[in-house]
Amino acid sequence: MTGSIGILAAAIAIGLSAIGAGIGNGLIVGRTVEGCARQPELRGMLQTTMFIGVALVEALPIIGVVIAFMVLNR
């Protein structure tokens, strides 16, 4: 599927994964800031957990790019 349908499918895969990662990162960071505001003494633990969560969420756009390349057969 390398025609215009394939290119459209690849663009949709990359776009949706980027939107999903943006929303996920916003939620994670926002909740971490809220947690730090409520309990400042837990800042270090919350920050560590936040970085792990952000790293896992950032895997989504990478998977989207891989799927896009699979759709384009490259």
Domain boundaries, the chain: 4-72
Q: Retrieve residue 50's tokens.
A: 């936040």
Q: Retrieve residue 43's tokens.
A: 């800042």
DSSP state of 2: -
CA–CA separation, 73 vs 63, rounded Å?
A: 15
- State pLDDT tens for residues 14-50: 999 999 999 999 999 999 999 999 999 999 999 999 9
| Residues 4-72, CATH architecture | Up-down Bundle (1.20)
Half-sphere exposure of 43 (CA within 13 A, CB side): 5
3-class SS of residue 47 = helix
Average pLDDT over residues 46-73: 91
CA–CA separation, 62 vs 64, rounded Å?
A: 5
Reported pTM = 0.80
